[in-house]
A = this chain, B = another copy of it.
Amino acid sequence: MSAPDPNRLALNTATTRKKWSLAEAIAGCARHGIKGIAPWRDQLQVMGVEAAARAIRGNGLTVTGLCRGGMFPAIDPAGRRAAIDENRRALEEAYRLQAQCLILVAGGLPDGSKDIAGARMQIQDGIAALLPLARQARIPLAIEPLHPMYAADRACINTLSQALDLCDALDPPGEGGLGVAVDVYHVWWDPELELQIARAGKARIVAGRGQGHRLSQPGSRLLVRSRLQIALLGRCF
């Protein structure tokens, strides 16, 4: 694999968070010619949303996605309402950063629960509640399927097929505002990966990630070449 073109890369700040603050990550991207950045909300709070937005704009960077919303399931209705409120705040921050999407890590089983079907329904209900605001703000929601090893504690959306079924259920006419994030770390094993990437197409792939790089461009064409490699072939299909 040849060295990636920094113009086509975005830095997910999860990969630098132990060494860099968000301000340092923004400066680092600028210094290395990386045009995109995907900040995490906790680092964003520390820096302050307005200061971050100014620094990002000032360095000519694009926010390819805000990490992260989601975590919808909760043991009671109050917990589920609080999760939706938290996601509304995340959407507002994404709007202020002019992010290309809000990444959703769906959430796992509520404490003490073994009802995975129920948790999945809570996720669907949570995204349904959030979608109108996302469309209004023009911030697409990107459902990220996580590896099944995270099904209990972080996300019980575990395949691209399942994430796309959820998109189809909540956004049947393809009005937009809802899609998927494809991270090779989570999906490389999936026997339906190529099939579901083709199914997702330009309309549904909001973000892609490979080998610690976030290769995120709306409508990017993703091709999985091997277990740990996603190649970005172009900006359009």
Contact = CB atoms under 8 A, between A and B. Distances in A.
Contacts of A226: 114-115
Nearest to A115: B226
Interface in A177-226: 188-191, 226
A150 to B, nearest CB: 9
A174 interface: no
Interface in A132-180: 147-149, 151-152, 156, 158-159, 161-162
The range of chain A's interface size is 20 to 34
Contact of A149 (B147, B152, B190, B228): B147
A114 to B, nearest CB: 4
A151 B189 contact: yes
B151 A116 contact: no
A68 interface: no
A144 to B, nearest CB: 15
A189 B158 contact: yes
Contacts of A151: 188-189
Nearest to A191: B162
A116 B189 contact: yes
A35 interface: no
A227 interface: yes
B148 A189 contact: yes
Given A148-B149, A149-B149, A189-B148, A228 B114 contact: yes
24 contacts: A109-B227, A114-B226, A114-B227, A115-B226, A116-B188, A116-B189, A116-B227, A120-B191, A147-B148, A147-B149, A148-B148, A148-B149, A148-B189, A148-B190, A149-B149, A151-B188, A151-B189, A152-B189, A152-B227, A156-B189, A158-B190, A158-B191, A159-B191, A162-B191
Top-6 shortest CB links A-B: A151-B189, A114-B226, A148-B189, A162-B191, A114-B227, A149-B149
